[in-house]
A and B are shown apart, each in its own frame.
Chain A
Amino acid sequence: MAVGPSGRQVRFAVDTGGTFTDLVVEDAEGRFHLYKATTTPDDPAQGVLDVFEIAARDLGTDRRNLLGRGELFIHGTTRATNAILTGMTARTAFLTTRGHPDILLFREGGRTDIFDWSRPYPDPYVPRSLTFEVPERIGADGAIVRPLDEAAAAEIAQKLSERDVEAVAICLLWSTVNPKHERDLAALLDRLLPGVPYTLSHALNPTIREYRRASATAIDASLKPVLTSYLRGLGQRLEEAGLNPQSRLLLVTSSGGLVDADDMAEKPILSIGSGPAMSPVAGREYARAEAAAETTVVTDAGGTSYDVSVVRRGRIPLTRETWLGDPFFGHMTGFPSIDVRSIGAGGGSLARVDSGGLLHVGPQSAGAEPGPACYGRGGTQPTVTDAALVLGYIDPGYFLGGAMRLDLDAAGRALQEHVAGPLSLGLDEAAAAVLRLVTEKMARAIEEITVNQGIDPRMAVLVCGGGAAGLNAVAIARRLGCVQVIIPEPAAALSAAGALMSDLCGEFSLTCLTTTADFDFDAANGSLSELVESCQGFEGGPGADAVETSVELSVEARYVGQTWEISVPLRVTRFGSPPDVEQLRQDFHAAHTELFAVDDPGSEIELVTWHARVSCRLREVSLPHFAPAANRTRESNGSRSAYFAGQGIVDTTVVQAERLAVGETLAGPAIIESPVTTVVLEPGASAKRTVGGSLSILPGSEG
């Protein structure tokens, strides 16, 4: 059997996305195999079983046998996100400090598109009718201003029961400084509402700013029943299908780490936005191995959205400002997650010309139904995929390895009517314009996140993932001035591959306010040793099987008087003397300059929240090797006509990715294709296959 000698174990990573369920199998020889099946939104576990069926067939075995050899099952799922989007979360109550019932309604304010009044004010995550004010108050210094009124709290518990509440979110003001009242309420619910899950804000998300904490708490509580039952159901179905009961089920988190399934059920908010979270992990490994680069832009191009993340000096920056839905209109998760910029641009993005004669591409998408015009399912609006087809970049007979035949004429008609006609352009020029504009939008998304993270894209390696990555990777790199593009071998399932390359992670944080001017050595060192202890506990517990463990300490800090903190890595685990503090101060200035191009060397630093992240590596460090998918690859290379801006129609070499030898250089114009992706090499660009299996591209220039 192709999965290696019997008796040796295999590992699985399954990424359930909106459209596809991706599976990467790491066989007993350490080779990776990549599979895709359609996602089944009503019963996502079915899609998981389906993709194992496809894999088993390809590997010459049956599903039961394949699953039976698993020692590790890593799962990324959009289950939680979808539950929120479709309103399938638990009936959740919100308990908060008396006087502040509208925290979730008021949010933090703000609007975009200031003259567009067509979007209504968003509803609170928990309605006011399920919001309860608890008589109590803690002050900013942690002192109890008004003690918790236990009798009133018991009455609230009674109402929750009468209202058939299924989950409870508890967020009291200043609970991060003094959690007593939240804990007292928890004890009361344990007694009066046994079995109803609840989330305490100070335990979930110990951050100041009540809306973010409350929002995280409400989202988390509302997901507990649904995620618990999903994970239990999935575990059962997999075991019934043959998954080794000894195998470990790990879930991907929004901060790019892995946690045990039971921990995820306890903190389901960890799973929000975990979809794109593994791409940067994979991107970081490929950039290191293939380009010796520590600063990287990682993109993931799907059908409707384009996700951009960055790696700065080997670290993947986190943000607390992740939104479910659009900023200001959705809900902020308020939870640390990988900083991903997501825009509505992809193969399915619709192109149109407005009444003033301006071309637009996206954010509206043709989706999977009806899909691009060339799918022949009734779509009449042109999409980016239609434009790529018209330009000759995609072979209508070899889309998804020939699984779907594309209608070139339909694509041409749609483009002619909606773009070429209104702009008085030729068909090819119109198609090129669509690609150029979508390229600009993607480049802009990259520019925004890199500028916000203080990265010069010209100094970064661009790692492109996603099935549609190769269509304009060269064009994006040229636009941004990137010197090198890497298209990793598992580009089409970058997130699932990243999951197998990722670490088991524990994250711990504590608030301890002090300043560099008047540094409180005892308090800071006390916090640090507590954090290190937590990491050691994790190392000996969930991380006991790791091949290597590391701990990263950092502090969220700001100039005295600033409002927003930035994260600064610590060089010490204990502050021994004033020079250690001065070093931190200097590191802060440097980090501030890196992010914002300015610093204030005369200013002292306020230190707020201290973090520890323990990472336990589950596999030896090295890029995976992929087993060839020879049975789906075409026999030979060929050529076809393709259009390039400034050159017109050019007879273009078409090379099968698998047939490009390691070290062989291919000069554009050329197209490199495989069953799952197409890479366009424009004139002036060149590509080389690396030892690690990636395509390394020098974008060159048009001229």
Chain B
Amino acid sequence: MSSDLDGVGLAVISNRFESVVRAMINTLFRTSRSGVLATARDLSCAVITRDCEFLAAAESLPIHVMGGDLAARALQELHPELRRGDAFLNNSPYHGNTHPADHSILVPVIDEEGTHHFTVFTKAHVADCGASRPTTYSSTARDVYDEGTLIFPHTKIQKDYRDCEDIIRMCRMRIRVPDDWYGDYLAQIGAARIGERLLLEMGDEYGWETLHAYARSWFDYSERRMVEALRELPSGRVTAETAHDPFPGIPNGIPLSVTVDVRPDDGLVEVDLRDNGDCMPCGFNMTEAYAKGAALIAVFNSLSQPVPPNAGSFRRIRVLLRENCVAGIPRHPACCSSGMSPTDRVINAIARAIAELGEGVGMAEAGVNMSPAFGVLSGNDPRSGGTPFINQLILPAVTGGAGMPRGDGWLLNAAPVVSGAVLRDSVEMDELRHPIRIEDQRIICDSEGAGRFRGAPGATVEYGPIGCSIDVMYTSDGTLTPAQGVRGGKPGARATQHKRLASGDLVDASPERARLEPGETIISVSCGGGGYGPPTERDPERVRHDVVEGWISRERAESVYGVVVTASGEVDGAATARLRGQTPFED
């Protein structure tokens, strides 16, 4: 095989690396057991260079992998000598991981001479991680001790390709569904070993030095692409403020601030997250991987041409973080269990800041949606003699994509950290797996952030237990501060959660957890996404479509969009022109 690394060789080898990652993802997705993995696909795989640079991660969740270099670096610091057959379990928020429920398995790819060339990496959101509360989001935990999760800072879990049984037994003693966890672990190990095998074959075929030279060229190419993409952005420096809602234990919520400095001439973006408070006594501290990932995701979302996301293009995004900061680098023993909630807010604020720089760039804010529709359920299943169960639901009815410069919000966005990448549960699968019934699930009329391009509407879901009681834990945000619109776009509707008692009465539910007794249900309403641009500039044909399809009411079409739609579903052009000629419009 030739070693030319021109545009042809690069294209060929990058295809190969993507193939390796896809093969890993296929095994992990198809063989894992927890619903959150095997149905919702809350998992990722990646290849990292020997220099700990992030190389390839086809079809992964960006928040899982974009800070993957941090974990690889921590691994090499803790284990300077890596051996073939090793595998390491990492879920430590202080060692490059996202949050502790994301179990990462790292396998060094080592040739027959014992030389380390790449590291393959799989990440899976486990159903339970042994925390003191039955959830993978311990939002109210004061610190890692209160959280109680088993933390593994790159703990060797395989040696010579065989399990270190001590570690497995520890997990089995603390994780609530040990068999599910072990099945998921096998899936992760299987995926990592497939990646290792495929890379070893590539090393044989191309020669290792060719592959390393490829990585360097690929990074350089990606950096060139990034420079070019950044040239299209308007220059400027903007600070945007936002806040996570108040929560039990943090009565004032979490104010957050981002400063974005776009320098197209230098081909550079700087994102500064240092002007934020210190770590807080709650689960909402971001990890370094979250903070870095948030900045990268928000910038990539704002590019109008595709740039390969890897260490090369990342050179052009400077992320400034501070130690012991709620949106920075957590210091042990800060709890980071629910760190993705402020991460969503930070991604939103950066996108909004970029939108303020000029027309046609950035995004509105997307719904922040850790609602009960994404709740962690636990209880004992009466259908199988009281077997304990725990799993995170990922129901379709969490929506809220952000309005964009050239299109409406993606309906099933879920949350900014996810960008629509996770799959959704089936009602039937959830009812088969758990003693629950899902009564209602639909989008909500008039809940979108109006705009020239509107945000996606919010959605509602109602479910409850059958023949037993269940605990639901979630992290509601967006009940106070909605997803903001930009450039004249309107905010989306806010989230709520209610409990329907057996009597039929509705009561407010806590923002954190609910115990549901037989006959009771929880009603989750997720946020709508913010709109981009003034709603009165929206194409009347799009407004008509939204009316006919029941996304918005005819009244809202008139009062907010200034478009008159007749009872038979046609745009009344003359009336619309008259209406749009008048001001002002209601908010």
Question: Which residues does chain B contribute within 8 Å of A99, judged by CB atoms?
Answer: 438-442, 462
Tell me, rounded to whole Å, the shortest Cβ–Cβ distance linking B55 to chain A.
16
Question: Which residues does chain A contribute within 8 Å of B193, judged by CB atoms?
Answer: 597-598
| In the assembled complex, A666 has its CB within 8 A of some CB on chain B | no
How far is A114 from B307 in the complex, measured between Cα atoms in Å?
11
Q: Report if A357-B309 is in contact (Cβ < 8 Å); known contacts: A102-B443, A105-B411, A598-B31.
A: no
Tell me, rounded to whole Å, the shortest Cβ–Cβ distance linking A439 to chain B.
9
CB–CB A562/B401 < 8 A: no
CB–CB A117/B410 < 8 A: yes
CB–CB B442/A101 < 8 A: yes
CB–CB B422/A562 < 8 A: no
Question: Which residues does chain B contribute within 8 Å of A596, judged by CB atoms?
Answer: 27, 30-31, 190
CB–CB A209/B429 < 8 A: yes
Question: Which residues does chain B contribute within 8 Å of A100, judged by CB atoms?
Answer: 427, 440-442
How far is A120 from B6 in the complex, measured between Cα atoms in Å?
35
| In the assembled complex, B237 has its CB within 8 A of some CB on chain A | no
| In the assembled complex, B11 has its CB within 8 A of some CB on chain A | yes
Within B230-267, the residues touching A (CB, 8 Å) are none
CB–CB B27/A561 < 8 A: no
Tell me, rounded to whole Å, the shortest Cβ–Cβ distance linking B402 to chain A.
9
| In the assembled complex, B332 has its CB within 8 A of some CB on chain A | no
Tell me, rounded to whole Å, the shortest Cβ–Cβ distance linking B343 to chain A.
16
| In the assembled complex, B424 has its CB within 8 A of some CB on chain A | yes
CB–CB B426/A597 < 8 A: no
Binds B, one of A443-451, A483-491, A549-557, A684-692: A443-451
CB–CB B422/A140 < 8 A: no
How far is A211 from B16 in the complex, measured between Cα atoms in Å?
33
CB–CB A561/B33 < 8 A: yes
Within B14-71, the residues touching A (CB, 8 Å) are 15-16, 18-19, 22-23, 26-27, 29-35, 38-41, 59, 62
Question: Which residues does chain B contribute within 8 Å of A140, judged by CB atoms?
Answer: 428, 431-432, 437
Binds B, one of A3-11, A121-129, A579-587, A612-620: A121-129
Within B264-304, the residues touching A (CB, 8 Å) are 300-301, 303
Q: Report if A114-B421 is in contact (Cβ < 8 Å); known contacts: A145-B437, A451-B23.
A: yes
How far is A595 from B182 in the complex, measured between Cα atoms in Å?
19
Tell me, rounded to whole Å, the shortest Cβ–Cβ distance linking A511 to chain B.
11
Measured CB to CB, the nearest residue on chain A to B435 is A140
How far is A81 from B197 in the complex, measured between Cα atoms in Å?
39
How far is A356 from B310 in the complex, measured between Cα atoms in Å?
15
Give the residue of B6, B26, B401, B437 whose beta carbon is less than 8 angstroms from that of A121. B401
Q: What mask results when residues 430 to 473 of chain B are scored 1 for a CB within 8 Å of chain A, else 0?
A: 01100001111111000000000000100100100010000000
Q: Helix, strand, loop or mixed for chain A's interface?
A: loop
| In the assembled complex, A664 has its CB within 8 A of some CB on chain B | no
CB–CB A111/B410 < 8 A: yes
| In the assembled complex, B541 has its CB within 8 A of some CB on chain A | no
How far is A267 from B350 in the complex, measured between Cα atoms in Å?
51
Q: Report if A564-B38 is in contact (Cβ < 8 Å); known contacts: A437-B8, A451-B26, A598-B186.
A: yes
How far is A373 from B432 in the complex, measured between Cα atoms in Å?
57
CB–CB B15/A108 < 8 A: no
Give the residue of A109, A210, A354, A561 whose beta carbon is less than 8 angstroms from that of B427. A210
CB–CB A444/B15 < 8 A: yes
Tell me, rounded to whole Å, the shortest Cβ–Cβ distance linking B453 to chain A.
10
Number of A-B pairs, beta carbon distance below 8 Å: 215
Q: Report if A174-B428 is in contact (Cβ < 8 Å); known contacts: A109-B412, A109-B423, A598-B186.
A: yes
CB–CB A437/B11 < 8 A: yes
| In the assembled complex, A433 has its CB within 8 A of some CB on chain B | yes
Question: Which residues does chain A contribute within 8 Å of B207, judged by CB atoms?
Answer: none
| In the assembled complex, A658 has its CB within 8 A of some CB on chain B | no
Measured CB to CB, the nearest residue on chain A to B397 is A106
Question: Which residues does chain B contribute within 8 Å of A107, judged by CB atoms?
Answer: 396, 412, 424
Give the residue of A353, A359, A436, A600 whose beta carbon is less than 8 angstroms from that of B186. A600
Question: Which residues does chain B contribute within 8 Å of A598, judged by CB atoms?
Answer: 27, 31, 186-187, 189-190, 193
Give the residue of B59, B182, B406 whose beta carbon is less than 8 angstroms from that of A112. B59
How far is A325 from B202 in the complex, measured between Cα atoms in Å?
32
Interface size class of A (residues with CB under 8 A): 35 or more
Question: Which residues does chain A contribute within 8 Å of B182, judged by CB atoms?
Answer: 600
Q: Report if A603-B410 is in contact (Cβ < 8 Å); known contacts: A110-B421, A448-B22.
A: no
CB–CB B183/A209 < 8 A: no
CB–CB A109/B422 < 8 A: yes
| In the assembled complex, A592 has its CB within 8 A of some CB on chain B | yes
Q: Report if A208-B12 is in contact (Cβ < 8 Å); known contacts: A102-B441, A111-B410, A597-B194.
A: no
CB–CB A128/B7 < 8 A: no
| In the assembled complex, B10 has its CB within 8 A of some CB on chain A | yes
Tell me, rounded to whole Å, the shortest Cβ–Cβ distance linking A545 to chain B.
40
How far is A38 from B406 in the complex, measured between Cα atoms in Å?
39
Measured CB to CB, the nearest residue on chain B to A562 is B33
Tell me, rounded to whole Å, the shortest Cβ–Cβ distance linking B415 to chain A.
12
Give the residue of B39, B197, B396, B421 whose beta carbon is less than 8 angstroms from that of A106. B396
Measured CB to CB, the nearest residue on chain A to B550 is A128
Q: Report if A110-B426 is in contact (Cβ < 8 Å); known contacts: A121-B401, A563-B39.
A: no
How far is A441 from B16 in the complex, measured between Cα atoms in Å?
9
Tell me, rounded to whole Å, the shortest Cβ–Cβ distance linking A493 to chain B.
30
Tell me, rounded to whole Å, the shortest Cβ–Cβ distance linking B229 to chain A.
9
Question: Which residues does chain B contribute within 8 Å of A101, judged by CB atoms?
Answer: 442
Question: Which residues does chain A contribute within 8 Å of B203, judged by CB atoms?
Answer: none
Tell me, rounded to whole Å, the shortest Cβ–Cβ distance linking B61 to chain A.
8
CB–CB A563/B422 < 8 A: no
| In the assembled complex, A86 has its CB within 8 A of some CB on chain B | no
CB–CB A559/B401 < 8 A: no
How far is A428 from B10 in the complex, measured between Cα atoms in Å?
19
Tell me, rounded to whole Å, the shortest Cβ–Cβ distance linking A165 to chain B.
16
Give the residue of A113, A120, A423, A444 whose beta carbon is less than 8 angstroms from that of B16. A444
Contacts beyond the supplied A562-B38, A595-B30, A646-B2: 17 A-B pairs with Cβ under 8 Å? A99-B439, A100-B442, A107-B412, A107-B424, A115-B62, A139-B466, A145-B437, A173-B428, A174-B431, A210-B426, A358-B11, A441-B15, A452-B26, A562-B31, A562-B183, A563-B35, A563-B38
- Please give the residue numbers on chain A whose beta carbons come within 8 Å of chain B beta carbons, in ascending order: 99-102, 105-118, 120-121, 127-129, 137, 139-140, 145, 173-174, 208-211, 353-360, 423, 425, 433, 436-437, 440-441, 444, 447-448, 451-452, 559-564, 592, 595-598, 600, 603, 646
Could you jot down 16 A-B contacts, CB within 8 Å?
A99-B438, A102-B441, A106-B396, A106-B411, A109-B420, A211-B426, A436-B12, A441-B15, A451-B19, A451-B22, A559-B33, A562-B38, A563-B39, A563-B429, A592-B31, A598-B186
